[in-house]
Amino acid sequence: MTSILKVQNIQYTDGDAALTIADGGGVTAASTLGVTGNTTLTGASTINNKLIVSAADGVVDNEFVVDIRNDEATNDRSFGLRVAAGSTTTDRALDVQNHAMDTVLLRVNGA
């Protein structure tokens, strides 16, 4: 059995738009979109604000919190991570700190 639901807008009980679905399938959330399960992003994704990745105690035990990987197998065509930040020596392009965030292990200044 196949069911089809056609809708452009999902509203909260007070009538405010919660989710807007555009022609072609793009979805816009009116506020924070919380996902409790696994999330897979395909294609290029842009985040236009600060990104915080935080794993609570016991959630990612004995594992890396973030794994950034490029599986491109073609020689000379596989790149990793690019950080573009900082414009002066007082800016920081990269800070690597210990767990307690009270000791800088590696710092790259912006100039």
Give the tens place of pLDDT for each residue, 24-54. Answer: 888 888 888 888 888 888 888 888 888 888 8
* pLDDT of 94 strictly over 90: yes
6-25: b or e for each residue (b if 16 or more CB lie within 10 Å)? eeeeeeeeeeeeebeeeeee
Confidence (pLDDT) at 82: 92
Question: CB 49: neighbour CB atoms within 10 A?
Answer: 5
Q: Give this prediction's pTM.
A: 0.60
Contacts 24+ apart (CB under 8 A), 63-66: none
The 10s digit of each residue's pLDDT in 46-86 is: 888 888 888 999 989 999 999 888 999 999 999 999 999 99
